[in-house]
Amino acid sequence: MDVNLSVWNVRGLNCRARRTAIHELVWSERVSLLCLQEAKLDVVDRTLILDMLGLDFDYYALPAVHSCGGFLVAWDIGMFPAPHWALTQSLSRSSPGMRQCNNGS
């Protein structure tokens, strides 16, 4: 089983062009595990995932807080049918060395 991993600081997914670029990357490189940081989305739902990645992906997301942060990990369900992720809110909120967001920047 070949796993293709992509990790990207996307600096926001509110822009349609950025979501399209992610879609193209995932399909052209056959990415099976995708990690996106700084998604800057308050809500990540199934509709967004379907639009950006298609039916073959499931996901876990930590929402942004006041337009700061946001984390999304998505995986190809054909490669990882039932992953057991141990992600928690503390992952992005209290990890040592995490940059603090000031004034929404």
Q: What is the pTM of this model?
A: 0.75
Look at residue 65 in the predicted model and tell me its pLDDT: 82
For the chain, domain boundaries: 5-93
Return d(Cα 96, Cα 91) in angstroms, integer: 10
Side-chain half-sphere CA neighbours of 101 within 13 A: 14
Residue 31, classed as helix, strand or coil, is coil
pLDDT (tens digit per residue) in 2-42: 889 999 998 888 889 999 999 999 999 999 999 999 889 88
Report the pLDDT averaged over residues 45-61.
91
Measuring CA to CA, which residue among 18, 22, 21 is closest to residue 35?
22
Q: Which CATH class is domain 5-93?
A: alpha beta
- Contact between 80 and 32 under an 8 Å Cβ cutoff? The reply is yes
Report in angstroms the alpha-carbon separations of 77 from 26, 53, 95.
14, 12, 28
Residue pLDDT, tens place only, 64-81: 887 788 889 999 999 887
